[in-house]
A and B are shown apart, each in its own frame.
Chain A
Amino acid sequence: MTRTGEPDCALRYEGISKIFRAGLRRRVPALRGVSLEVRAGEILALLGHNGAGKTTLVKLALGLLRPTGGTGSLLGRPLGDRAARRSVGFQPEQPYLYPFLTVRETLRFLGELSGFSGARLRGRMADAVEGCGLAEVVDRPVRRLSRGWQQRVALATALLPDPRLLLLDEPLGGLDPDARFALKELIRRLRAEGRTVVFNSHVLPDVEQLADRVVLLQRGRVIAEGRLETLLSEEVQGFEIEVRGALPGLPGAEAVWRHADPARSLWWLPGIDAGELQRVLRGLIDAGVEVVGVAPRRENLEAFFARVTRAEAGAAVKPASGRRAAG
């Protein structure tokens, strides 16, 4: 337990499996013995291809689905428990909203369902409107809003219950860069307030910026989990070189970026070590190319994702460190 008496573990799954029935005979396993803990106060990202089981995990937590096997807890109570749901905010993968309601009516209705009334409800609504920047559309019907605005409204409904745990399913999808930046700031602020955030996303650079920990799912199994700094390989994957002047033919070099000034460009030299880099740089300088900058590139989350999911699909490849789950 934490000092405030709250459970250390906001969400826990123990050997959870879920099998969906498709028709009379076909059984589709969505989760296969998933065990996972989300610690209070952390930001955890669930990663995986479509159909990996991310959304199923979230819906099991809320009692929208029931596990076929295994058990778990939500804020110290059984999965889907009604009292626990009082402190959980949920944003589904699409902004599923009532089209005929205005933003204000939507917030009022869902706030009432969260158990608020009177001044407390008005306060929660005002916080949600401010937190998601909805002031200018608050009296507009939801059906007249763009997808990005609807996404913000959906997030506001998730924030209404003043949640200790936020479950966000693809929260960054459909948002413009400003809204995406604001949402990331908001999620960081929520963590700073001691709240727990679990989110699914396919936008891996955003995950890299936000998540304290990631869990990688594939075909209903956890195939890797841990903090990014322990999961991602420290090994240098290659070097980026920015040059001014024409670049002589370099075997294996890939153009990453070309400046408006055609003489400037950025090149990616994969798979070379420091010694080879020295030779390349010497050759460039001898050829009269001005080297503006050189940067080593280490593994990012996208590369990790590709490496681990491909390895899992084929032969097993160990990650740099962190925990690789047993299949």
Chain B
Amino acid sequence: MTPILSLARHTLIDALRERLLRMLALFLVVLLLATRLASPLALGEGRRVTLDLGLGLLSLFGFLLVMLLGTRMVQQEVEGRTILLVLARPVHRIEFLLGKLLGLLGVVAIGLAGMLGILALALLTAGYAVDASLALAGLCAFLELTIVSALAVLLAASTSPILSAFLLLALYVAGHLLHGLLEMARLVSQPLLAGALKGVFHLLPRLDLYSSALQAVHGTPLSAGTVLWGVAYAALYTAGVLGLALLVFRAREFA
């Protein structure tokens, strides 16, 4: 087993031992309560309400999962000094970061699969149809969280867990409001400011790309091009962020 896979498995096992199951259980409780509370207000749109609530909660809990695990995972090794054991072995620092990211993505994949399963169960028990669009929504959520996970690794490699969590939240919110930034750039009369706003638009993660999954579950099909662009963007952005994380992490010393 390569160091990357070994580190990924180790990260995954660490997360599964304590946090993920609690998160899933919480998701189940919140989803059941929310659908129960919202069903009298649905006015015949029960499936839509359940799906909107479910996918919203899935996105939120997925983000919380990444924020809680991802921003702490490097610091945990540094504070516990176990990083000395790892990096004293023939492990390159990019392998360490990749292993951590893959482990985190494994946790995200299991978490999303679990939450999608719960959502499907909630739909089926309420007598609503479940189709493949739910899986597509899961893929979009996974791609979005892949980018967020890479950002979490970058922040975790650079700064403290609390600051990382704060910055990650800021990037997550900004990533969903990017269209507003582009609109602002169009409206601004000063070319320099407009250029700066466009620059920021291109630097920030385009998490809004993955919001289209909601349209899919409500019957508006997603084109193959949109899905492929979403996959390609997630891969490229993640690679860029990881490159930056490596630059930061290579400079770190462990006294």
Interface residues of A (CB under 8 A from B): 20, 56, 59, 62-66, 82-83, 85-86, 88, 90, 92, 94, 96-98, 100, 109-110, 112-115, 117, 157, 161
Contact = CB atoms under 8 A, between A and B. Distances in A.
Contact of A96 (B6, B14, B80): B80
A82 B90 contact: yes
Contacts of A97: 82, 85
Interface in B241-255: 253-255
Given A20-B255, A96-B81, A90 B88 contact: yes
A96 B254 contact: no
Contacts of A113: 3, 6-7, 86, 89-91
B88 A62 contact: yes
B82 A114 contact: no
Contacts of A117: 1
Contacts of A90: 84-85, 88
Interface residues of B, number: 23
A117 B91 CA distance: 15
B76 to A, nearest CB: 10
B10 interface: yes
A66 B253 contact: yes
A182 B194 CA distance: 72
A96 B255 contact: no
A112 B80 contact: no
Given A59-B254, A66-B253, A100 B14 contact: yes
B25 to A, nearest CB: 20
Contact of A112 (B3, B14, B84): B3
A64 B254 contact: yes
B90 A115 contact: yes
A64 B253 contact: yes
A98 B82 contact: yes
A20 B7 CA distance: 30
Nearest to A92: B84
A88 B84 CA distance: 13
A66 B90 CA distance: 17
B87 interface: yes
A96 B82 contact: yes
Contacts of A59: 84, 254-255
A100 B84 contact: no
Contacts of A65: 253-255
B6 A157 contact: no
A98 B76 CA distance: 10
Interface string B61-101: 00000000000000000001110111111111000000000
Nearest to B253: A65
B254 A114 contact: no
A111 B18 CA distance: 24
B115 to A, nearest CB: 24
